[in-house]
Amino acid sequence: MSADITSPPRHVVILCHPEKGSFNASVAEAYCSAVSALGHETCVRDLYAMNFQPALRASEQPGAMFHPHPDVEEEIRLLHGADVFVLVYPIWFGLPPAMLKGYVERVFGRGVMPRDLQERSARGVLAGKRLVSFTSSGTSAVWLDEQGQIQSLRTIFDRYLEHAFGMAPSEHFHFGHIVEGLNTGFVEQDLTDVRDHARAIARKAEQAA
Rounded to a whole number, what is the distance in angstroms from the first to the last CA of the chain? 23
Which segments in the chain show pLDDT lower than 50? Answer: 1-4
Give the domain ranges of the chain. Answer: 10-208
**What's the angle, vertex CA 47, arms to CA 186 and CA 68, rounded to 5?**
150
pTM score over 0.85: yes
Instruction: Give pLDDT, residue 109.
Output: 86
DSSP one-letter string for 169-186: PPEEEEE----TT--HHH
**Which is nearest to 175 in space by CA: 100, 93, 91, 87?**
91
Question: Which residues are CB-contacts of 162 (< 8 A; sequence separation ≥ 6)?
Answer: 131, 168, 169, 170
Instruction: Give pLDDT, residue 3.
Output: 43
Which strand ranges, in their side-by-side order, compose the sheet holding 171-175?
41-46, 10-15, 84-90, 130-136, 171-175
Q: How many CA atoms lie within 13 A of 151 on its CB side?
A: 6
Angstrom distance (rounded) from CA 169 to CA 172: 10
Instruction: Give pLDDT, residue 204.
Output: 95
| 10-208 CATH | 3.40.50.360
Instruction: Give pLDDT, residue 5.
Output: 59
